[in-house]
A and B are shown apart, each in its own frame.
Chain A
Amino acid sequence: MFKDLDPILHSQLRLAVMSLLISVKQAEFTFLKEKTNSTAGNLSVQIQKLKEAGYIEVIKEFKDNYPNTTCKITAKGIKAFEEYVKSLQQYLQVKK
């Protein structure tokens, strides 16, 4: 039933990250961790998957002498997210 849904996005944590990133210009790793209430390890893995899919851009830099990771949604990511929401809407309409 869900086979048309993007498997990259159809995962709780990855979808949460994408939903957060679509609403802001950019967000730090700590912000994503705090809002999704996830562990650093799991979040890192999911961010890496989103990065590999080309849905997000990951910027690693130093902030006050500490490493800091910032994530930003890409144009490809926005398109994939919009298509995912459209598919969900269609699925829910069919279900009704």
Chain B
Amino acid sequence: MEEKQLTGEESFKLINRMIHEAKGYFYESGLGGIIYGISIFICCVLSWLVESNTMSFPFHPLFLLTPVFFIQAWVQYREEKKKKAKTFTDEVIDYVWTGYFLSVFAALCGNFINAGYIIITIVLLLTAFASFITGMITKFRYHIICGLVCMLIAIVSFFVQSASIYLLMAVTALIVWLVPGLILRARFKKLYHN
């Protein structure tokens, strides 16, 4: 960029172009979504098999998500370091999902009073909410539709207060994490590996 005296119009054009460039910055490999999607799907299917007495497991399969959470946090940390710029959108989405995970953790405390499968319904509602908000902020239509579909799944789950509720959670994991993760991964590869 050469240094030159700008006219009013040129200044406005430059400001618009740079703001557009900055807002269009994207660095999201989709790895986090893929890791979460696959692991939550597997854990939910295992939970369904265990609770419908089809197989036995030494502990509740959902506990397997604890190490996954730390692995994902590490992946996220590595990705944050690779980002050349942090946008306000990134920051707001981080807050939304941090709030989501804290709320899920709070909902899981319902296990102490044996609240039962209703906890999964609460988790489904929270997931729908987080996905919908993410879609609205990023203008990513898939997430908006996905949030609405999850809300329907959450409503259905009120009537499925049995082991089968884990299958609803497994489907949710696929549509909220795995599919967008794969979409983002494909977009990331196209942008940074071509």
Where chain A touches its partner, the secondary structure class is helix
Distance A83 CA – B122 CA, assembled complex (angstroms)? 48
Q: How many A-B residue pairs have CB under 8 A?
A: 84
The 8 A CB mask of A2-28 against B (1 = contact, 0 = none) is 100000001111011001101111111
Query: Could you tell me if A64 and B81 are in contact, using CB atoms closer than 8 angstroms?
Result: yes
Q: Which residues of B contact A (CB under 8 A)?
A: 1-4, 6, 8-9, 11-12, 14-15, 17-19, 21-23, 25, 81, 84-88, 90-91
A11:B19 contact, CB within 8 angstroms: no
A: interface residue count bin: 20 to 34
| Chain B residue, CB-CB nearest to A85 | B15
Q: Is A79 engaged at the interface, CB distance under 8 Å to the other chain?
A: no
A38 vs B23: C-alpha distance when bound (angstroms):
19
B90, chain A: closest CB distance, angstroms:
8
Binary B-proximity of A30-58 (CB < 8 A = 1, otherwise 0): 11001111100010000000000000000
Report Cα–Cα, A64/B78, bound state, in Å. 11
Task: List 9 contacting pairs A-B, 8 Å CB cutoff, sorted by A.
Answer: A11-B3, A16-B1, A20-B85, A25-B91, A27-B85, A34-B84, A36-B1, A92-B8, A95-B8
Query: Which B residues touch A19, using CB under 8 A?
Result: 14-15, 17-19, 22
B15 surroundings in chain A (CB, below 8 A): 15, 19, 85
- Scoring A15, A19, A25 by chain B CB atoms within 10 A of each residue's CB, the highest score goes to A19
Contact present for B14 and A16 (CB under 8 Å): yes
B19 touching A22 by the CB < 8 A rule? yes
